[in-house]
Amino acid sequence: MSAALQSEGSSEDIGTRLKLVRQIFGLTQRELARRAGVTNGAISLIEQNRVSPSISSLKKILDGIPLSLADFFTLDFSPSENVFFTAGELTEISYDPAITMRMVGRRVKDRALQMLKETYQPGADTGDAMLRHGGEECGVVIAGTLTLTVGVQERLLNPGDAYYFRSDIPHRFRNMSSEAVVLISANSPPSF
Amino acid sequence: MSAALQSEGSSEDIGTRLKLVRQIFGLTQRELARRAGVTNGAISLIEQNRVSPSISSLKKILDGIPLSLADFFTLDFSPSENVFFTAGELTEISYDPAITMRMVGRRVKDRALQMLKETYQPGADTGDAMLRHGGEECGVVIAGTLTLTVGVQERLLNPGDAYYFRSDIPHRFRNMSSEAVVLISANSPPSF
DNA sequence: CCCACACGTTTAGAATTATTGACGATGCTG
DNA sequence: CAGCATCGTCAATAATTCTAAACGTGTGGG
């Protein structure tokens, strides 16, 4: 076969699924390709369902997001979904062993907001090259002391303290204390 | 790259994962290949991690088991796993829209027993070409009236009734009533 | 207006995966 | 033990995917 491979149900529509995930994380095809170590053309073809990627390619691409294969296939894009989630149901997005991020809810389509529960181990540091998408973001510290740098300002935030800034301003999260920092954050709609 | 692709951690070791799943379901490479519409050579190469299958190939293969991509990547093979499972945590194995099977537990390695919760809608029928593996199986009916044929014997089983037979005897499950049949079944270790 | 830049798309060719058909090993049966 | 069947594996070839380098579009500045 060569012409068939096109639109299937939805759960198996890898292309659309990848495109949605990519857009939710505010990445362009080229940016994701760079992070993943593949070419932008490959991502374009996959998103159009003109090819069916190998597992190794798909894994490389998802590592650039980052998202596990299991989560990729498990994510639910249906508009009406569960309202309540237990702690264990949060989708994990691991950047760095010292930093864990868990997304609230598995529903992903038509999101207006992305909410994360983030945990920073002592010494964890995002670096400041994390411009990301162009929305806004805010958060509240739940535990520990967070060192937050936004533009030229730097502050120590203790439990109950919060922040709010435009995501295109360079920013950096650090845990310079000896106990873990936990915070709840939200990002406004990444692009689309 | 050409030589690297070999053994990785485990969660991403598609070959071993596929092999385990195939063996748990008591299928040979050739039998699975036939069901899936691929060649046995392809399955051999994948299980040895000598190639990384395309999603379309992997999906075809899993359809022959049958198992969804999401479940395939979600299955947990670690020997020590949870003991308790809620209804929603059972892994679904859908053969037929009229028949649902949910496997108890996600742990899969070193299983001595496979337990399923099966639901047959009115009219559902497995046909009798389901010889499957060579162990034994038994079950208890929870709701509805099950028509069970084993070899030359046929019986109507009502809630509380049960069965036990060698799986290599031809057998057939039917729901000839107007209400759904629910039963809990167990199979002894499929081959390996 | 035109240039520079970033976006997704496309195409030819390189790289990888799937098929075909054969092989050795094992087990069963007469 | 030979004959036969089935298992997993392998090599050569066919088919598909991935890369590299273009293209066309749209947008913002100067």
* pLDDT at position B47: 93
Of A5, A53, A56, the CB nearest to B5: A56
Residue type for B191, please?
S
Beta bridge partners of B182: B119, B143
Residue type for B61, please?
I
Q: What rounded mean pLDDT belongs to chain B?
A: 71
Neighbours of A86 (CB within 10 A): 6
Specify the CATH superfamily of domain A87-187: Jelly Rolls (2.60.120.10)
Instruction: Just give the CATH number of B14-74.
Output: 1.10.260.40
Q: Which A residues 50-79 touch B at CB under 8 Å? A: 51-59, 68-70, 72-74
Using a 10 angstrom Cβ sphere, with 0-12 exposed, 13-18 middle and 19 or more buried, the burial of residue A187 is: buried
Instruction: Pick the range with the lowest mean pLDDT from A45-49, A171-175, A186-190, B128-132.
Output: B128-132
The better pLDDT of the pair B67, A58 is held by A58
Mutate to test the interface with B, among A69, A71, A84, A94 (most CBs of B within 10 A): A69
The better pLDDT of the pair A24, A152 is held by A24
Using a 10 angstrom Cβ sphere, with 0-12 exposed, 13-18 middle and 19 or more buried, the burial of residue A144 is: buried
Please say if the pLDDT value at position B26 is more than 80. no
Beta bridge partners of A172: A149
A5 has a chain B CB within 8 A of its CB: yes
Domain boundaries, chain B: 14-74, 87-187
* Nearest nt by C1' to A1 Cα: D15
Percent of chain A scored above 90 by pLDDT?
A: 20
The better pLDDT of the pair B93, B56 is held by B56
Q: How far apart are CA A33 and CA A47, in angstroms?
A: 13
Phi, psi of B57 (to 5 degrees): -65, -45
Q: How far apart are CA A158 and CA A143, in angstroms?
A: 7
**DSSP string of B129-190?**
----SSSEEEEEEEES-EEEEETTEEEEE-TT-EEEEETTS-EEEE--SSS-EEEEEEE---
pLDDT (mean) for B111-135: 65
